[in-house]
Amino acid sequence: MELRQLRHLILIADTGSFNKAAKILKITQSTISRSMLSLEMSLGIKLLDRSGKSIELTPHGRVVYERAKRALQEAGAITDDSHRLREQKIGSLRVGLGPWVGAIFAADLLKYMISAHPGVEFKIVRSDGTSQLKDLQVGKLDALIIDPRNIGSATDLKMEMITDLRSIFLCRAGHPLARKIDVGFDEILNYPLLSSSCSEEVVLNLVAQYGDKAQPMRLLSQTSDDWESILKITCQSDAIHLGSEVIARDWIQDGRLVEIDFNQSFDLSFRMALITSVHHSEESGVSILRGFMIERLTELQKIFR
């Protein structure tokens, strides 16, 4: 049974004539007759009563006719939806964001999806990296944007580097280190140091440069993914914050926080990568996400250039 045969049946029933249906379809009458004969044979039932020039549906034919109309409507809806999916007007996107990525982009991304792609079902998941990776691997998430150094090597994941974001030491405007030049690491250690959890590579860089005193358990007085609370505490105390300058941009611009003139140069950057599974077809929404991140990061790079 083919959709083409169902279209033939509907048109024959609606016109009451093989000849009229054939003319509308611009095919020969013998072609449409063979189509109906083939359909009846495949279903094993008689669909049409042929009495002279009058063509009527049999009782079985009326049942098939109604179902055929619904089937063609559904087929049309599938075709329409496929066009809309290709044009990214509908679909779904389930994305996991790392804590700092979420802090920088979650609100803007949600606003963008609502305004530019209202037909796309969109969900942001904010949880620990281990849970997000598992959800991605089993198909519960379509993509992650996280620091790739936190996931190690996994052959079932595809990674696309997006950018590196500069990390800096920040303190309140009236802090003893705020106006000091060439601040050393030992001077920073005289104050509570606040941050989120560091990636393994950043930890290795710190330990290689400064030894065991740079181990996170000794170095960091407090770690939290609640970046706003960390920034508030930094503003209200002598604590020092290690984190992305992008997240703190408003706090820096209005003078509440200042960058410490740290006298060492090594990699404390926060990296972002788009992570997808090699075992699942890419949702059309992932390309929306990719485009948004590139555009937004281009804007941020202009600000911090």
Cβ(253)–Cβ(234) below 8 Å: no
Most confident region among 20-29, 217-226, 237-246, 270-279 by mean pLDDT:
20-29
**Rounded distance between C-alpha atoms, residue 269 and residue 95, angstroms:** 23
For 173-197, b where at least 16 C-beta lie within 10 A, e where not — what string? eebebbeeeebebebbeebebbbbb
Is 230's pLDDT higher than 70? yes
Confidence grade of residue 47 (pLDDT, cut at 50, 70, 90): very high
**What are the CA-CA distances from residue 199 to residues 19, 138, 151, 263, 271 (Å)?**
74, 24, 9, 22, 9
Half-sphere exposure of 224 (CA within 13 A, CB side): 14
Is 175's pLDDT higher than 90? yes
Structural domains present in the chain: 3-86 (1.10.10.10), 91-164+271-303 (3.40.190.10), 167-268 (3.40.190.10)
Question: What pLDDT is stored for residue 243 in this prediction?
Answer: 80
Question: What pLDDT is stored for residue 156 in this prediction?
Answer: 84
Record the tokens describing residue 1, joined without a space: 């049974």
Q: What is the pTM of this model?
A: 0.61
**Rounded distance between C-alpha atoms, residue 140 and residue 123, angstroms:** 11
Dump pLDDT digits (tens) for 135-163.
Answer: 888 888 999 988 777 676 777 888 888 87
